[in-house]
Structures are given as structure tokens and as C-alpha cells.
Chains A and B, each alone.
Chain A
Amino acid sequence: MPRDFLKGASDEYDVIVIGSGLAGLTVANVLGRAGHSVLLLEQHYKLGGMATWFKRPGGHIFDVSLHGFPYGMIKSCRRYWSQEIADSIVPLKGIRFENPMFSLTTTYNREDFTKLLTSQFKIAPEKVAEFFDTARGMNFYDDQSMTTGELFNKFFPGREDVHRLLMEPIVYANGSTLEDPAITYGIVFSNFMSKGVYTFEGGTDLLIQLMQKELKKNGVDIRIRCDVEKINVEDDRVQSVTVNGRTIKAKSVISNANLNATIFRLLGEETLDKQFVEEARAVRLNNSSTQVYMALNPGETVDESLGDLFFTSTAEEFKTDLLLSRDVTSRTYSIYYPRTRPEGRPRTLIVSSTNAHYKDWAPLSDEQYEASKQDLIKTTLDHLDRYVPNIRERLAHVEASTPRTFQHYTQHVAGASFGTKFEGLAVSRALPDQVKGLYHAGSVGIIMSGWLGAINYGVIVANDVDALLMKQVGAATQPVN
């Protein structure tokens, strides 16, 4: 008989959270801490969603999405998780760029960027200051008609090299393009520029382990291998979910699954307004990724001048669609020195990431798929060899992932790594107007994606749910203090 992963689970909770990505984990933690009974359901055997890692023989641990996040993570982790988690967040030391237009190393903050833009790129200091202030003053509810490309052209007309410096890292951080609304760029760029790029010392495995400990402390009932099939609605109100052959009731359900999958697969359009369905259907998904994971032989390392994050490109021009093509011209390397896991065995790992389209990988036959993966590995090693000589002899392990891999593990439609384009945010926020008690929390709208965006969006939705649950208890209850 198959194992019952819901053994001992109740028939009813205040809250059910579908999916344990960073947004789902955070919703569950905040609501559990507020005293609500919470059931967290994850279809995979691990918590974390895209915030994940995998181990390979020889003590190598690969992080999939731990390349860097803004300083704001410290505050969010301290408030909504624990001091212990916040204390492990440390700055990256060097961010390096290498392309036909320029080569430089930076700490990636406003101060250093101002220095680079004025000295190396010869831009007037007032222009630089004005650009930074404009970007920092942007709000998500501002006018969206200006695109990022237009923003760059307004401040730095014809300076493709400057556009590249400003944009390339953000394309990697969230898949946005020059055609997306400038506000999405401004918000994300300013978050990074305030204090530079940070990482989690100890690795994703430690983070998720600490989060799990916190969830347990706050009484959250965590269940893995629980693939939710259906969200059940009656009289415009959410009633329950169907999972592993059981129906479990809840006053509120929060889906951390892909927005599109939540609406069209878990919910179904019957219960929804036509116009909402149309808007939901029009939401564009963000791109996916390919990665090549390389572990150096035990005892081997590379010089730290390689940087922690290394943006490389061989393209003469800067075009965001080139960054997405399968004909890879641009790669970002994350270098994990032994200091990444001070408690672990001293290992050096390198992960190469490129943005990619699911449609380029989906139709391949098994044979073609395998060959394409091998080709991805080969071209990556050829490229890296320029910076890490004899890389092939120094490797203990190498493998690749593709948009199909991401789709497989997280059930994200089209393996979308960074959620949806901007319009997804409004649809996600409007879901509770369609079905009372039902919310979506997860990467949407570019600004709510990434580790920090997902955590913060989880908090925003937890606040809504907490307000709803309090209202349901009724005004009769007395204040607590």
C-alpha cells in the first residue's frame, strides 16, 4: 500500500497553503505565528520550491537559485522568520562583468556604480545622480507607460554600453526585458543598489532547514508529497482542497502554485467572471532557465578574482532577446567558494545560468534533448576554460538542467523561473474578489519575484488573510489587550 502522507492530518484548518516556495513558506509561518491552524501542502519531497539544492557524491552541494538577492532580505528574514536566519545573510564580495564593450569588477551598489559611470563611462555626475533618484522614486502603482528601454534612452541616449551595465544583471535577476515597464526595473535595480548583493551563508539547505524548524515551532502542519488536485468552491467562497484522495476544509486557501495553474488547473474557469478569466489568460509568463552545475575536485579552488557573480557575454551588441536565445552568447557564473558553506567540507562549485525559453526545449525527442544538454555542457566548459584554465581536468562532476527540469520539479507552467510579467500582479491580487477566501502568493509581476519578492509577497497576502479571518470571527470578540 502506498504511504499515506496525510496520516493524522485534520479534516479542517483555518488555512491551507498549497506549495512551499518561499512565498508559501512565509504565508504559512506568519499565519501560524498569528495563532491560526495552518496546513502546508507540497507536491515535491522537499520544501523550498525554486529555492532548492541537490547533493552529489563527494560532498558537493549545488544551489539552484542562490545567486544573490538585495539587502532587504535581512530585514524580512528577521521580522517574518528569525534572527538566526537573518544573521546568516552576508554580502557578496565581487561582481564581475566581461563583454566586448567593457570589463570591470564592482561591489554593485550606488556608490561604486556612480564611480564607474562617471570615471570609466564618462557620464556627468548630475546625470548619474538624477538617474538613481528617478529609479529609487518609482512605485509599483506609478504610470507604466514608459519602458525600461525608454528610461535608459532618456538618461543615457545612444549609450548601449551603459544600458548593458545597468540592465544585464537585472535580466538575469528576473527575466525582464527592455520592453517591460520601467517601474519594474527601477524598483528591482534600486533594491540592489541600496547596499549591494547578498547571499545566504550555509547554503539553501541550511535556510530551508531553519525555516522548517521555525514553521514547526509555530505549529504549522507540514506535508510533503501532497499534490493538490483541486480547489473546491461553493457560493463564491472557497470550501476545501482535494489532495491525495482526501477533501480537507479550510476557511482560507492560499495557492503558491503558478498563477496560471492556480486559476486554470486547480480552480477552473466555471466559477469565475468572464472578464477576469480573459485577464488571467492574457498574463504572460516569464522566461525559464538553463544551468550547468560544475563541481571542482576536492581540494581544488579558483582565485577569488573570478568574483562571486560573473556576467559574461560574447555578443557585440546588447539585446535582451539575445540573452534568451538558445544560441547562447551570454552566461552568468556563480562561484561558490568554500566560504559558502563554512561548516561543510571545503568545496568549490561553479554554476552557469542562462535565461531560456521553454518552447525551445519542449518539443525535443529524448535523444535530441540529451544531445542538447551535452552540447550545453560542452559549450559552457569551452567558454569557462578561458577564465579557469584546464577546467575539464579539474572537474569532479558536471550536469545540466533545462526549462523542462524546472517544469518537472515545480509544476510551473513552461518552467517559468521568475513568475509572470507585470500584469500578473493585478490578477493575483484580484483572485479573492472572485472567490472569497482564496488567495494567490508567489512570483508575479516581476517585482514580486526572486527570493525577497516572494517572501514579501507572502507577508502581504498573510496580512490580507489574517484580516479576513479576524473579520469572520466577528466583532463580538474582545480585544486581546
Chain B
Amino acid sequence: MTPADIRDEILDILEDIAPDEDLGELKDEVAFREQLELDSMDFLDIVMELRKRHRVQVPEEDYGELASMHSTVTYLTPLMKDLQKA
């Protein structure tokens, strides 16, 4: 998966998690929490979805890497680059 594919995938997961939010305006460099009403359970959901969909493991000490879209994609790129796009 390319960084762009990963970004799409994260958007797709966020749509499930926060169905009431408008994700079209999302700024990649700004923390999710400053733009969306996400709490710590929402971040856990992202982790669980990644594992379910792609068998990617994000250990607890790395949860901080999921702060913004940019940091998430940067963190996931080496972990997901060899995966096939769905």
C-alpha cells in the first residue's frame, strides 16, 4: 500500500468511528483531536480496525503516533508498504 492508500484506509476507518463528522475538511498536519470529537476509545478503535483489516499491530506505547493523519500515515507506511490494497 502506498501512503495515499493508507490515508484512504484511515479515512474509511474514521468514517465508521465518527459518522457524524465531516472528514472532507480534515487537515493532515493538525491533530485529529483538535478537529474531530475523538476520545481515547476512538483511537483504540482505529488500532483494532487496523489489526482486523490488515493484521497490523500498533503497540500501546506507539498510540501517540496516531495523533494526526500525517503522523499516522508516516508511522504506518513501513508497516503496511508490503500489503496489498483491498
Task: Confirm or deny: A120 has a beta carbon within 8 angstroms of a beta carbon on chain B.
Answer: no
- Cβ B41 vs Cβ A480 within 8 A: no
Q: How many residues of A contact B (CB 8 A)?
A: 17
Residues of A within 8 A of B48 (CB): 463, 466
- Cβ A460 vs Cβ B86 within 8 A: no
As a 0/1 sequence over residues 452 to 476 of chain A, the CB contacts with chain B under 8 angstroms (1 = contact) are: 0000100110010011001100000
Task: Looking at the assembled complex, report how far the CB atom of A49 sits from the nearest CB atom of chain B, in whole angstroms.
Answer: 21
- Distance of A460 Cα from B53 Cα, bound (Å): 18
Task: Confirm or deny: B81 has a beta carbon within 8 angstroms of a beta carbon on chain A.
Answer: no
Task: Confirm or deny: A57 has a beta carbon within 8 angstroms of a beta carbon on chain B.
Answer: no
- Cβ B41 vs Cβ A76 within 8 A: yes
Q: A78: nearest residue on chain B (CB-CB)? A: B19
Task: Confirm or deny: B13 has a beta carbon within 8 angstroms of a beta carbon on chain A.
Answer: no
- Cβ B41 vs Cβ A481 within 8 A: no
Residues of B within 8 A of A480 (CB): 52-55
Task: Confirm or deny: A479 has a beta carbon within 8 angstroms of a beta carbon on chain B.
Answer: yes
- Cβ A463 vs Cβ B53 within 8 A: no
The residues in B between 17 and 67 inclusive whose CB is less than 8 angstroms from any CB of A are 17, 39, 41, 44-45, 47-48, 51-55, 57
Q: How many residues of B contact A (CB 8 A)?
A: 16
- Cβ A467 vs Cβ B54 within 8 A: no
Residues of A within 8 A of B39 (CB): 72
Residues of A within 8 A of B55 (CB): 470, 477, 479-480
- Cβ B51 vs Cβ A459 within 8 A: no
Given A79-B45, A456-B41, A459-B44, does the pair A481, B57 have CB atoms closer than 8 Å? no
- Distance of A466 Cα from B54 Cα, bound (Å): 13
Task: Confirm or deny: A216 has a beta carbon within 8 angstroms of a beta carbon on chain B.
Answer: no
- Cβ B57 vs Cβ A470 within 8 A: yes
- Distance of A481 Cα from B12 Cα, bound (Å): 15
- Cβ B83 vs Cβ A479 within 8 A: yes
Task: Looking at the assembled complex, report how far the CB atom of A170 sits from the nearest CB atom of chain B, in whole angstroms.
Answer: 19
Task: Looking at the assembled complex, report how far the CB atom of B66 sits from the nearest CB atom of chain A, in whole angstroms.
Answer: 14
- Cβ A467 vs Cβ B51 within 8 A: yes
Residues of B within 8 A of A466 (CB): 48, 51
- Cβ A467 vs Cβ B57 within 8 A: yes
Given A467-B51, A471-B57, does the pair A479, B84 have CB atoms closer than 8 Å? yes
- Distance of A75 Cα from B53 Cα, bound (Å): 21
Task: Looking at the assembled complex, report how far the CB atom of A469 sits from the nearest CB atom of chain B, in whole angstroms.
Answer: 10
Residues of B within 8 A of A79 (CB): 17, 45
- Cβ A75 vs Cβ B41 within 8 A: yes
Task: Looking at the assembled complex, report how far the CB atom of A433 sits from the nearest CB atom of chain B, in whole angstroms.
Answer: 12
Task: Confirm or deny: A34 has a beta carbon within 8 angstroms of a beta carbon on chain B.
Answer: yes
Residues of A within 8 A of B47 (CB): 463
Task: Looking at the assembled complex, report how far the CB atom of A27 sits from the nearest CB atom of chain B, in whole angstroms.
Answer: 13
- Cβ A463 vs Cβ B44 within 8 A: yes
Residues of A within 8 A of B51 (CB): 466-467, 470
- Cβ B41 vs Cβ A459 within 8 A: yes
- Distance of A383 Cα from B46 Cα, bound (Å): 50
Residues of A within 8 A of B54 (CB): 479-481
Residues of A within 8 A of B41 (CB): 72, 75-76, 456, 459
Residues of B within 8 A of A470 (CB): 51, 55, 57
- Cβ A460 vs Cβ B52 within 8 A: no
Residues of B within 8 A of A456 (CB): 41
User: Which one of A34, A79, A479 has the greatest number of beta carbons of chain B within 10 Å?
Assistant: A479
Task: Looking at the assembled complex, report how far the CB atom of B14 sits from the nearest CB atom of chain A, in whole angstroms.
Answer: 13
Residues of B within 8 A of A34 (CB): 52
Q: Which residues of B contact A (CB under 8 A)?
A: 17, 39, 41, 44-45, 47-48, 51-55, 57, 83-84, 86
Interchain Cβ contacts under 8 Å between A and B, 21 examples:
A72-B39, A72-B41, A76-B41, A79-B17, A459-B41, A463-B44, A463-B47, A463-B48, A466-B51, A467-B51, A467-B57, A470-B51, A477-B55, A479-B55, A479-B83, A480-B52, A480-B53, A480-B55, A481-B53, A481-B54, A481-B86
The 6 closest A-B pairs by CB, nearest first: A481-B86, A479-B55, A463-B48, A479-B54, A479-B83, A456-B41
User: Can you add 16 more A-B contacts, CB < 8 Å, to A459-B41, A466-B48?
Assistant: A76-B41, A79-B45, A456-B41, A459-B44, A463-B48, A467-B51, A467-B57, A470-B51, A470-B57, A479-B55, A479-B83, A479-B84, A480-B52, A480-B53, A481-B54, A481-B84
